[in-house]
Chain A
């Protein structure tokens, strides 16, 4: 049995997807997507439902074979050495797949056995992970008694039970209430800082991608339409910041004064003393507004700045809103896996 060595061409690169295509009959779920994720990065795949994000993740996690193209995880080809890839990755699928009739600890223990984690290591990992996801006092509770957010945390623990280097999460906060969502984000941040972990998340929530990810790939209709850091993506889309300002006293003179502000695209009067400014550069316009107000001795009653959002980025790159689409690809069908 030849020793399996990580491909040295991919040193330092956790995930390398090259020209990957997935076709179901005539329908192309994923069309020629390529990107790389470095070790330790938190990478986001953002796109509407039906964009092909789940299909992409399934190809990367050895669940379905690619029609063409390659995926290289931790230096190993997904099609040629799927078993090694499986041991190197942890996956949280979109559906909640923990067993409701087992206890929290049993769920983790059985999963660990599937990875062949030896007993001592297993117990240590379970303890540590339960503490990390804050479920330690629930270890003997039956999973069906847990709330959705807690089950998701259990599944995060489950995905890490074998100490993988790379962690895939398919829509980790979909269906969770706002409090649980934030809890999951905090947990992911914490895990990242305490372990050497590369994380890839798929999501259709812009705030999640914006908050969590180092870099974001925007996917639409199976194609990669943009790839960069959130800041760079937003900066690449001009004229979408909105500044809402309300003056304590306004005899109508501010209408003209506002037109002089730097970076301004347009001014809308909302009601007496209230104006909405559209600008290329929110911070710049706000700064000059405040300066102008101070100069004129006026009192600003309220001021809000809304910068470019990823929704604006999405519209810019695809020409439409980030919204739901009818799923055209058939649901997971389990065709033969690569390497089996």
Chain B
């Protein structure tokens, strides 16, 4: 036990003698914490939600009034009028809007007839946080609409239908892009950064600097080699990872699906 603790002691002494090392070990995770924390959590504020009204009927107006009042009171989101579902989807995809509320044609008639009326909410499910928050908000809106204020003449059974902008993606495929970036990062860090430091510590750089080589050429040469290594690991991971994640076949059918989704909106053609 003492022997093992001697090794622990040695390592800790070295650590505490190096202020730079301590700073980096603690600052880096802090930076990561702040960035990731804000990426995954936080409050939504002034999310832009588009409203597409194909109905223009009385019930549609009700929905919109409620929507506007929520927007005005709580300021969670702002309402933006849109004309066209396809355009609204496109705007959510590109990020101009955070979500889009679609009131389909025949909505009012359906509400009055009790014929399973639907409201559509287009969300960008690649932004997990935003989409689930907005879904929750809209769901509570739908529930509010469903609650009768006076004796109901008509029983409201409005159902909120979520339309995810992106179809379900398996986790491995979802993770692939990040893994490629990680592979390149680690490759550069070890093959570029640590190798450089190691060489310098062993005095190899001294051996080079007595030759006509300039410091710039030495550093650029090492950086270029590191970059090549990073590209190689990125490319191999893209190829192998795609095969593992089963992406090969998807590329052709994906294109078709994407095209059809933009082409035909779901709510204007009943």
CB within 8 Å of B: which residues of A? 61-63, 83, 86-87, 89, 91, 93-95, 97-99, 111, 114-116, 332, 334, 337, 340
Contact = CB atoms under 8 A, between A and B. Distances in A.
A212 B219 CA distance: 38
Tell me what chain B mostly uses at the interface: helix, strand, loop, or mixed.
helix
A86 B208 CA distance: 11
Interface residues of B, number: 15
Interface string B201-212: 011111111111
Contact of B203 (A83, A86, A111, A332): A332
Contacts of B209: 62-63, 334, 337
A114 B204 contact: no
Contacts of A86: 210-212
8 pairs of A and B residues whose beta carbons are closest in the complex: A97-B207, A95-B203, A114-B211, A91-B210, A97-B204, A93-B206, A86-B212, A61-B210
A332 B205 CA distance: 11
Nearest to B210: A91
A111 B207 CA distance: 9
Nearest to A86: B212
B204 A99 contact: yes
Contact of B212 (A61, A97, A99, A115): A115
A77 B231 CA distance: 44
Contacts of B202: 95, 97
A340 B203 contact: no
Contacts of B203: 93-95, 97, 332
Give the most central of A114, A115, A337: most B CB within 10 Å: A114
Tell me what chain A mostly uses at the interface: helix, strand, loop, or mixed.
loop
Nearest to B200: A334
B214 interface: yes
A115 B201 CA distance: 23
A98 B207 CA distance: 8
B215 A337 contact: yes
Contacts of A334: 200, 205, 209
B6 interface: no
Contacts of A62: 209-210
B215 A114 contact: no
A111 B215 contact: no
Interface string B199-239: 01011111111111111000000000000000000000000
A63 B212 contact: no
B215 A340 contact: yes
Contacts of B208: 114
A340 B215 CA distance: 9
B58 to A, nearest CB: 79
B68 to A, nearest CB: 66
Contacts of B211: 86, 111, 114-115
Contacts of B215: 337, 340
A87 B212 contact: yes
13 contacts: A62-B209, A83-B212, A86-B210, A89-B210, A93-B203, A93-B210, A95-B203, A97-B202, A97-B206, A111-B211, A114-B211, A116-B212, A334-B200
Interface in B101-135: none
B145 to A, nearest CB: 71
B212 A114 contact: yes
Contacts of B205: 334
Contacts of A337: 209, 215
A62 B200 CA distance: 17
B199 to A, nearest CB: 9
Nearest to A336: B215
Given A86-B211, A89-B210, A116-B212, 5 more contacts: A63-B209, A98-B207, A99-B204, A111-B211, A115-B211
Contacts of B206: 63, 93, 95, 97, 332
Given A93-B206, A95-B202, A97-B202, A114 B214 contact: no
Interface string B180-210: 0000000000000000000010111111111
A94 to B, nearest CB: 8
B91 to A, nearest CB: 54
A213 B243 CA distance: 67
Nearest to A111: B211
Nearest to B218: A114
Nearest to A92: B207
Contacts of A111: 211
Contacts of A98: 207
A93 B212 contact: no
A118 to B, nearest CB: 14
Contact of A340 (B204, B207, B210, B214): B214
A237 B138 CA distance: 101
Nearest to A98: B207
Nearest to A162: B211
Contacts of A116: 212
A98 B208 CA distance: 10
B204 to A, nearest CB: 5
Contacts of A332: 203, 206
A86 B211 CA distance: 5
A114 B207 CA distance: 11
Contacts of A115: 211-212
B60 to A, nearest CB: 72
A321 B209 CA distance: 35
A153 to B, nearest CB: 15
A337 B210 CA distance: 10
A89 B214 CA distance: 16
Nearest to B211: A114
Contacts of B200: 334
